[in-house]
Amino acid sequence: MKQRILFVCLGNICRSPAAEAMLQQMITREGLAEHIEVDSAGTYGGHAGERSDVRMRRAAGARGIEMTHRARQVREEDFDRFDRIIAMDDNNYEALFRLAPDRAAQQKIFRFREYLRHHPDWSYIPDPYYEGHEGFELVLDLLEDGCAQLLSELKA
């Protein structure tokens, strides 16, 4: 059975589309595309239809990850389609919790920090939007850590 993963941040132009592109690359490399589907969305719809932030695209591109996602807002139907909905920070988590139509839907919501193995000091993925280049690099470091762990769980 196919497992469907949705990453969620605020704007869907920095953190969650980077997580999507990174996990997609790992899935493709390991030949798992038939078994795992990945997408991303934002709790805020103000950037809907836009490409990802150019700073995030450049930082990801420098690591060999191409980001082609167009931003969209998360919607209630996502709780039907996806098996795990993974929030980048506590604000996103709480917004998802309010959107979830029932208890079964609430149980699909996770925090990205649950997958971090090598960054004990981080309990969320920090919003890089108002940060410099280091903020985007930090996001990618955290995402690499968590996506590797998530993929190993999905394969198990």
Q: Which of 14, 111, 127, 147 is catalytic?
A: 127
Residue whose CB is less far from ligand 4NP, 122 or 129? 129
**Number of chain residues interacting with ligand 4NP (CB under 6 A):** 11
Site for ligand 4NP in 46-75 (CB under 6 A): 46
Angle at 151 between CA 64 and CA 40, to 5 degrees: 65
Q: Give the orientation angle of helix 15-29 with respect to helix 133-155, to 10 degrees.
A: 40
Residue whose CB is less far from ligand 4NP, 11 or 146? 11
The single residue among 15, 69, 111, 113 that binds ligand 4NP, judged by CB under 6 A, is: 15
The verdict on 13 binding ligand 4NP (CB under 6 A) reads yes
Active site residue 4: no
Site for ligand 4NP in 78-137 (CB under 6 A): 127, 129
Please state, in angstroms and rounded to a whole number, the distance separating the CA atoms of residues 89 and 16: 11
Query: Which one, of 66, 16, 9, 73, lies nearest residue 39 by Cα?
Result: 16
Residue whose CB is less far from ligand 4NP, 110 or 129? 129
Q: What is the helix, strand, coil percentage profile of the chain, to 5?
A: 45, 15, 40
- Strand 109-111 and strand 3-9: pairing? unpaired
Footprint of ligand 4NP (CB under 6 A): 9-15, 42, 46, 127, 129
Provide the annotated active-site residues. Answer: 9, 15, 127
